Chain A
Amino acid sequence: MMGATFVQLDLAPLLIGTLAAIACALPGNFLVLRRQALIGDAISHVVLPGIVVAFLLTGTIATWPMMLGAAGAAIVAVVLIEAVRRLGRIEPGAAMGVVFTAMFAAGVLILEQTDTSGIHIDVEHALYGNLESLIWLSARGWGSLLDPAALADLPPELPRMAVVAALIALLTALFWRPLKLSTFDEGFAATLGLPVAAISFGLVVVAAVAAVAAFDAVGSIIVIAMFICPPAAARLMTNRLERQVAWSVAFAILSAVGGTILAGRGPLWLGGEHAVSAAGMIATVSGVILALACLFGPHRARIGAAREG
């Protein structure tokens, strides 16, 4: 199992899945604490129209125009949600629901209207990605990791995802203190002179970058699951933010690795012949972890919940 076929078929999806999970789980911690968990849901829906419009404008499915289109759509969505909320005086949840469904519908409509047969953007791909197909064909075993010629043939999603995950980890470390302060006590952070609105917007932008980068490789459903499930499970394990983030990264890695392996090998163990969706399986495993945390996590109850009855 750990031989040449593993390196060729499983290593790249495993790494890409893991990096995507970490990249989403890091900002996810703050989104969950700020009760903005569903921003991730909204962003991952509007990525579709962004990609479709980028394709229409450039006529290619090159990576960078797509990423820019998706990031642009995410920013448009955030601005629109804010505008609907303020102009219409509508509660944030409903404003979000109005904007992301309309943008997603527009994306599907444009996709149906244009002739995109022969290239692979379709709604299903957008939803559950194609992690299984990201194989490293020229690998001949573990030795290929040192072979420049074989390394050049790695799926391009892998280095891209690695760069984004590293960037997000770096940003989280750099802005740790302001992020922590403004998340727990926005008023106090503001009196210290921190630009709380800018921090809030920056967090959403980082989440959008994570969503867009992960989306291309793994589909939007993992993105939503990774934004919410590992941080939510981690929240039930500890009261300290440092430990919560560590737990969430551990849960994200466990979900990605466990999900990928279960999707590829699980059906064989059960006597089936075909692999199942890795993206779906990763989301499922993260859900199982969250369920266990809800049932057994040491800090699962709300403080004072017993007294409230």
Chain B
Amino acid sequence: MSGPFLDAFLAALALQAGYNSALVAIGAGLLGAAAGAGGTFLFLRKRALVADAVAHATLPGIGLAFMLMVALGGDGRHLVGLLLGSAVSATVGLVLVEWTTRRTRLAEDAAIGAVLSVFFGFGVVLLTVIQTMSSGRQAGLESFLLGSTAGMLYADAVTIAVGGAACVAAVALLRRPMTLVSFDPEWAAASGVNVRGVDLAIMGLVMAVTVIGLKIVGLILIVALLIIPPVTARFWTERTERVVWIAGGLGGAAGYLGAALSASAPDLPTGPIIVLVSFGLFALSLLLAPGRGVAAALWRRRRFQLRVHRRQGLLALARGEPIFDGLTLKVLRRDRLIRPDAVATRAGAAQAAKVLRDEKRWEVARQLYRDETISGRYDGLTAIEAVLTRDEIADIDRRLGPPTPVEGAA
């Protein structure tokens, strides 16, 4: 990163890069937070891509609203009017997806794809009509495809910031019923929550986020704001309530950072930058998150592998069998259970005897306790003390007879 770019980025981060940029950054941050939290409910209900249909379905509404405003003698570019139009056609698209899924035998993915492509195609037809209208040449409606914050009017920036704040407030107010319904709809219904109403509220929130985000992120990429933060948040926690908060935080951070980055140099389009920042957070989480991350999973696998080799090596020592496996030898040497020439040390022989006895105790235990809860715990790794009580083990030992010394232990 070069000096001037870094300075510009820091200035934008500190909201010092001009009034509009500051408003856009705040708006993008709020929008990202609302999208992340709202998207969580969609993600939990496994309907993430419905948002894609909703976003693409906004295009004909934008075109029709422009034409209507021009026909009424106004300026077709009035942002609030365009956003209202987009909300109407997005609603129609959403209703069609639901109707098709419920009333015909087409699956939801086909309904989503059909609404997405047909509404978008019809929107493109309207855009080409508008281009031929005398007032339409400079309409700039294409900016809604990918979003564009360059040369944004002050009033537009205010609209976006206020809309983002309203969405965040809606999430904060409705988070409990929404969490309940998206986590367990049956239980929510049984405890008296109006599931259908809350579902509608979730879709309304998604719609609001989409419409407000059109100008910043654009209708093709807005779905990323609703999908990526919840998926990312899922890596960090197993609890629904926390997924909502973390996704909101991640989305807000991506929106704010992305808007600031894009304000600090030309040729950095806001929407794609926000999406890529969000994706960067996702990639980091996928690799590094504790528990569900790839690095953590690899580490767990390695530890399991070492435990298996250690146990098998000790059993081989106890039975006096030779060990050939390199990793087994390495593990045993590392723990000083064998000498470099593969002969058991004193500690190794003691442990080997204990493992062998454990194995024999298990053998008896699996014949004594036929039920799954006990014999099912046998995996060749769990010590029997972890499953049975002292008395039960004593009982098994009576059947086994006294311990016998292992070869080489003397």
Contact = CB atoms under 8 A, between A and B. Distances in A.
Nearest to A45: B220
Output the residue of B125, B272, B282, B292 with the most chain A CB within 10 A: B125
A53 to B, nearest CB: 15
A232 B272 contact: no
Contact of A224 (B100, B113, B125, B231): B113
Contact of A38 (B49, B104, B146, B224): B49
A97 B125 contact: no
Nearest to B111: A232
Interface residues on A, range: 35 or more
B211 interface: no
Interface stretch (B10-18, B115-123, B164-172, B200-208): B115-123
Contacts of B119: 287
Contacts of A267: 129
A297 B282 CA distance: 43
A101 B219 CA distance: 11
Contacts of B124: 127-128, 221, 277, 279-280, 283
B292 to A, nearest CB: 7
Interface string A71-94: 000000000000010011111011
B121 A294 contact: no
B235 A88 contact: yes
A37 B113 contact: yes
Given A88-B292, A123-B146, A102 B279 contact: yes
A88 B234 CA distance: 9
Interface stretch (B263-271, B351-359, B377-385): B263-271
A149 interface: no
Interface residues of B, number: 58
B104 A101 contact: no
A228 interface: yes
B152 to A, nearest CB: 17
Given A88-B231, A102-B276, A105-B275, A300 B105 contact: yes
A232 B228 CA distance: 29
A127 B132 CA distance: 20
B360 to A, nearest CB: 39
B110 A37 contact: yes
A23 to B, nearest CB: 16
Output the residue of A221, A267, A275, A301 with the most chain B CB within 10 A: A221
Contacts of B268: 109, 112
Interface of B: 43, 46-49, 52, 100, 103-107, 109-110, 112-114, 116-125, 127-129, 132, 142, 145-146, 220-221, 223-224, 227-228, 230-231, 234-235, 267-269, 271-273, 275-276, 279, 282, 286, 292, 294, 297
